[in-house]
Amino acid sequence: MTVCRAKLSQHLFRAQLLAVRKRSVAGTAQISYRAIGDPLGQGSFGTVFQIKTRDNATVAAIKCIKKNVLDGERELLRVKSEFSCWRALSGHPNVIRLIAFLETESHWCFVMEYIDLGSLSQVLRSNDIQLTRSQIRRIAAQLCHAVSTVHAAGYIHRDISCSNVMLTSRLDARLIDFGLSTKGHVGQNRCGSLAYMAPEVLRKRPGGCGSDWWSVGIVLFAMLMGKTPLAIHAYKKKIDLAVVSRDIRFALARATPIRISRRLKPEEKSLLIDILREDPNERLGARNNMDFDEIKRHEFFKNFDWKPLDCARATIVARLARKRLRANPVAPERRYLELE
């Protein structure tokens, strides 16, 4: 999707986005925005840009969805769904913080915190950063807790991948991109990143919480092995996924085996086996009524301190329960909405 940056800057910074400076984005209320910076990446349905200050510092990011791409009411509902899910989860320390939602003449825009290091996929491709086993365990624990909180809030993410896990300079994980998220625990459409799609999703069967946990398992596999099973399988078959047709890519994904290396430690192999089960209801995280304590008790996460994350999750779930008692879920129907 192409966005005219100059025109977008003119629309945003002439009026609506200036209202955001009333909130602290970078630890100060005296922020004066100047312009949209360089693109940071592509989301499910929009492009993400840097937000620059007058001294050219990056203080936030903004995801812009062009209105003329929206397919009528169905696509508008998708924007509302992304907003509702993201807003509900924004208080979790391992979900990227949503600062504001706003509307211009041509775009729907989500203003979010800026993460300096980049995505997990960029880190795994980098020669400068080699994740240690301790760091992998921490990232995996934070991602698992974030996904469990998404489900506890009544949503499924449907697009978990290494590209949708951002890492801070301290290597803390931030789950991003709720463009495909949906209310409830069953999704009907095949969507997500191909290498991370669960077997049932690849077969065009309804996906749910178990499908999200499969994607988490592939992220963990990629951290431990360096690549996804699909990338490894394609390399062995000497197939360039970037040039073959969509049908060939999907056929290859359906035929990709999950081969767990003998070089991994027993607790690493055990975790992958437990999450990457064929039956979605038997996957760790989804089984036994989504009992997250099973994950916390797993040997792989031994001695990890879950208490700070559990407190954040309890706050989110309690807040959502109070809102359900008061009114219907909030949707972005005003010209400008800012988080509490």
- Whether the per-residue pLDDT at 2 is higher than 50: the answer is no
Tokens 């996929």 sit on residue:
121
Q: For residues 279 and 283, give the distance between their C-alpha atoms in angstroms, rounded to a whole number.
A: 7
167 SS3 class:
strand
**pLDDT-derived band of residue 336, with 50, 70 and 90 as boundaries?**
very low
pLDDT for the residue numbered 198? 96
**pLDDT-derived band of residue 30, with 50, 70 and 90 as boundaries?**
very low
Residue 135 has a CB neighbour count (10 Å cut-off) of 15
Instruction: Measure the N-to-C terminal CA separation of the chain; round to a whole number of Å.
Output: 31
Would you say 52 is a known binding-site residue? no
Please name every residue paired with 241 in a beta bridge, in sequence order, or none if there are none: none
Q: Please report, for the chain, the start and end positions of each structural domain, with discontinuous segments joined by +.
A: 5-114+330-338, 118-304
71 CB contacts (<8 Å, ≥6 apart)? none
Query: Using one digit for the tens of pLDDT, what is the confidence trace for 314-335?
Result: 888 888 888 776 655 555 554 4
**DSSP assignment letter at 328:** S
150: part of which helix (H) or strand (E)? helix 133-152
Query: Using one digit for the tens of pLDDT, what is the confidence trace for 246-288?
Result: 999 999 999 999 999 999 999 999 999 999 999 999 999 998 8
Query: Using one digit for the tens of pLDDT, what is the confidence trace for 182-225?
Result: 887 676 676 789 999 999 999 988 889 999 999 999 999 999 99
pLDDT for the residue numbered 172? 94
Nearest to 333 by CA among 109, 179, 103, 155: 103
User: Radius of gyration of the chain from Cα atoms?
Assistant: 20
Mean pLDDT taken over the chain: 83
Specify whether the CB–CB gap between 21 and 32 falls below 8 A.
yes
- Vertex 199 angle, CA 197 and 202, to 5°: 65
DSSP notation for 178-221: -TT-EESSEE-S--S-GGG--HHHHTT--EEHHHHHHHHHHHHH
- CATH code, 5-114+330-338: 3.30.200.20
Ramachandran angles phi, psi of 111, nearest 5°: -95, 130
- Vertex 247 angle, CA 246 and 248, to 5°: 90
**Residue 48 structure tokens:** 């993400």
Please name every residue paired with 103 in a beta bridge, in sequence order, or none if there are none: 108
pTM score, whole prediction? 0.84
Specify whether the CB–CB gap between 286 and 209 falls below 8 A.
yes
- Among the four given CATH numbers 3.40.50.1100, 1.10.510.10, 3.30.540.10, 3.40.50.2300, the one describing domain 118-304: 1.10.510.10
Specify whether the CB–CB gap between 151 and 290 falls below 8 A.
yes
> Percentage helix, strand, coil, to 5, in the chain?
45, 15, 40
Over range 55-61, report the average pLDDT. Answer: 75
151 CB contacts (<8 Å, ≥6 apart)? 185, 209, 212, 290
Q: For residues 222 and 160, give the distance between their C-alpha atoms in angstroms, rounded to a whole number.
A: 13
